[in-house]
Amino acid sequence: MTKDVLLFDTTLRDGEQAEGVSFSLEDKFRIAYRLDEFGIDYIEGGWPGSNPKAVEFFDQIDRRRLKYAKLVAFGSTRRKRIKPDADENLRALIQSQTPAVAIFGKSWDLHVREALQASLEENLEMIRDSVRFLHDAGREVIYDAEHFFDGYKNNPDYALKTIVAAAEAGAACIVLCDTNGGTLTTEIAPIIEAARRAVNIPIGIHCHNDSGVAVANTLVAVQYGAVHVQGTINGYGERCGNADLIPIIAGLELKMGKKCLPEGKLQSLTSLAHFVAEIGNFIPDPRQPYVGRSVFAHKGGVHVSAMRRHNKTYEHIDPKAVGNSTRILVSELSGQSNIISKAEQLGLDVKEINEKIKPILNKIKELENQGYEYEAAEGSFEVLALKELGRHKTFFDLEGFRVIIEKRGPSDRCYAEATVKLDIAGERSLTAAEAVGPVNALDQALRKALRDKYPQLSSVHLQDFKVRVLDAQKGTAAKVRVLINSTDGEDEWATVGVSENIIEASWQALVDSIEYKLLRDERRGKKPHPKGGAKA
């Protein structure tokens, strides 16, 4: 397949320079294989001259698993007064045995004089020698013109001489870098055009996001002739980060009609973004364009009403094109359309819902006035709706619980013990559990009581636990809202509880989470009922 734009991913090198990001060697392998499967053209594995982990990466990666991408080693031009074959950095690039290498050189005369302490002509020789050495060794050389935009604005003639030197020495592509991220989108086009006039090889773009326009700058660069795009997944990178390849890819494919992926791969864009976030130990950004959980979420009643008529009214693309989905939020701002749409998503009987819309909506508004929030708690909404419809089943009744917090010495950690007394379809159960926190102990005790009757609950675990103080002026007597995210390995759901007591609020959310799981399984035909059947 012929592509209009080639994608160069530098998550494993530039992305790892972000504060809070540290990929293990195994992490780097997993990301590289996933990028290759997705259809990225170049995967930059790191700078082998800078750290042992990068050397290990190139030594140990299973190159047979890379079916599509070219592996790239990164480095710099040679040092002053050092011949290329004696430069450790350039030798490390050769030893990495990658088909392509990316090296950066100085384009800004300020950097040449102040950072390199070299003359302008010396810098041009360093560029020529380094590119020629790597090219003659049989490598595809991608030349990153560092600080090109700042250099061009300060001394355009010299900035252009640097990329001409690289092109004449055998570079396959010249990548113009906005290294400080200070160039605005209005400045990009004329500089790209000047570079294209100066060299007759492909031009690429590498932007940082310090002015918040890295994605826009990248797309404009493509519009004006760049055919090679560099960035990182989710925009990870030093300072404010790099250009985020996720919205760039979607913009190229869906907005500009530029092919940059193999056929059918765009639909896995969302899963790729979330995969890399999870590997990096980040919660996926819910507002990340195209792939965030919230970007196709609709809350206002007017919006939802229009969406029921045509999804283009409030969605700029079909979410399925990037592997995302529409979500209808339910809150005190909701109209009847929100309730109907949410019921349809949950598989509830819409005709039945129609007759109870106003009571359900009034109940939601009443509870949200007390501090509940259902827009992010679909599990609790379904439990509430079924109760209002008279279709809710009680799988167990609480007779009582007790939570004890104990600190056994000044240097010891706190321990929590929870005891739960339940009536499970006429059978009394008393269970206890110990854990490091009170909510965890309560959760463990509840599961212990239910696991024999409902073995499917063993697959459920908590993914996230959030506490929000609702009226801080009341101090320690303030109401709190607890939001719990749960998963059974197949689906995810969220539930909510509100109380002046954080344990009580947590209990409400825990019970909703368990009931949601059991109700959903029953609706899907999974029916491990307790003895005597569930009580209506």
Residue closest to 290 by CA, chosen among 309, 263, 308, 315? 315
Residue 57, pLDDT score: 93
Higher local confidence (pLDDT), 536 or 533: 533
Gap between the Cα atoms of 99 and 273, Å rounded: 26
pLDDT of residue 125 exceeding 50: yes
Q: Cα dist. 28→52, 69, 216, 498 in Å? A: 14, 15, 28, 42
Work out the average pLDDT over 465-472. Answer: 76
Higher local confidence (pLDDT), 125 or 529: 125
Residue 381, pLDDT score: 82
Task: Tell the residue number behind the tokens 């590289």, with chain if given.
Answer: 32
Domains along the chain with CATH numbers:
6-262 (3.20.20.70), 397-523 (3.30.160.270)
| Strands of 383-524, DSSP E | 397-407, 414-424, 427-435, 461-469, 480-487, 492-499
Work out the average pLDDT over 257-267. Answer: 96
Q: Which amino acid is at 340?
A: I
Residue-wise pLDDT tens digits, 30-61: 999 999 999 999 999 999 977 788 899 999 99
Residue 196, pLDDT score: 97
Residue-wise pLDDT tens digits, 58-115: 999 999 999 999 999 999 999 999 999 999 999 999 999 999 999 999 999 999 999 9
Gap between the Cα atoms of 172 and 299, Å rounded: 50
Higher local confidence (pLDDT), 73 or 453: 73
Residue 534, pLDDT score: 36
Gap between the Cα atoms of 214 and 314, Å rounded: 25
Alpha helices in 389-501 (DSSP H): 438-450
Residue 533, pLDDT score: 37
Token pair belonging to 206: 């590498």
Dihedral sign computed on CA atoms, order 518, 521, 523, 526: negative
Residue closest to 232 by CA, chosen among 14, 4, 473? 14
Gap between the Cα atoms of 372 and 146, Å rounded: 52
Reported pTM:
0.70
Q: What is the 3-state secondary structure (H, E, C) of 73-139?
A: EEEECCCCCCCHHHCHHHHHHHHCCCCEEEEEEECCHHHHHHCCCCCHHHHHHHHHHHHHHHHHCCC
Residue 349, pLDDT score: 65
Residue-wise pLDDT tens digits, 149-190: 999 999 999 999 999 999 999 999 999 999 999 999 999 999
Average confidence score pLDDT of the chain: 87
Residue-by-residue DSSP string for 451-471: TTT-GGGGG-EEEEEEEEES-
Residue-wise pLDDT tens digits, 418-438: 999 999 988 899 999 998 888
pLDDT band, very low/low/confident/very high, at 535 (cuts 50, 70, 90)? very low
Token pair belonging to 24: 């293990």
